[in-house]
Amino acid sequence: EEIGRETQIGMIPTIQKVYGEQASVSGFVGPEVEDGVPVEGVAAVYTSQRATAYSASGSAKGASGRRLTYGTVAINPSIIPYGSLMYITSDDGKFVYAYAADTGTAMMTGHAFIDLYYETYDESVDNAVIPVTVYVLDDETAAKYKEQNDAILEADTTVGR
């Protein structure tokens, strides 16, 4: 006589991204930051810029061929070249190391300076338009972090996809 059954399953690891004040919104890395500014390799600074938000399917790739994920952004490639590593801060204390991976219509027409990628439509709506400061790092500094950032991107493509 069977008096009961219980099914047990192992834990399934998940990643929960929480964006709060002074919390990075991507896993990409770069130079140390002091007083909100990278301590080395800043090639250009764009202050008081308008950032918009967008989303796409989980397998989407940008105009550069790079897969889109948190920390990839759309830019005007005549201002910021594809593959550039940037440090982006918003007025509410959020920050991100990001890669220029896509081209956006709003950037080409001058309606926005940068388009931040979000993995869900709801997140993109919540972050629709925000003021940002963009620090573009020089190629030498970006190269120091390329291997580590490529590994982060590769790990991100295997989680939950």
Task: Give CA–CA dist 106/144, Å, rounded.
Answer: 31
Please list the helix, strand and coil fractions of the chain in percent, rounded to the nearest 5, in that order: 20, 35, 45
CA of 150: how far to CAs of 28, 79, 82, 99, 160, in Å? Answer: 9, 23, 15, 11, 18
The mean predicted confidence, pLDDT, of the chain is 82
Do 89 and 83 touch, CB atoms closer than 8 A? no
The DSSP bridge pattern shows strands 95-103 and 72-75 to be parallel
Q: Work out the percent of the chain whose per-residue pLDDT is above 90.
A: 34
Q: What is the pLDDT of residues 24-54, one digit of tens each?
A: 567 888 998 888 889 999 999 999 999 988 8
First CA to last CA across the chain, in angstroms? 43
Find residue 38's DSSP bridge partners: 33
pLDDT per position as a tens digit, 90-124: 877 777 889 999 998 888 888 889 998 888 888 88
Residue with tokens 């500094």: 141
Better pLDDT: 42 or 67? 42
In angstroms, the CA 66 to CA 75 distance is 13
Cα–Cα distances (Å) from 57 to 60, 91, 101, 132, in that order, read 5, 28, 15, 25
The tally of CA atoms less than 13 A away on the side-chain side of residue 118 is 17
Place of tokens 């964006």: 19
Tell me the range of 54-63, 86-95, 140-149 where mean pLDDT is highest: 140-149
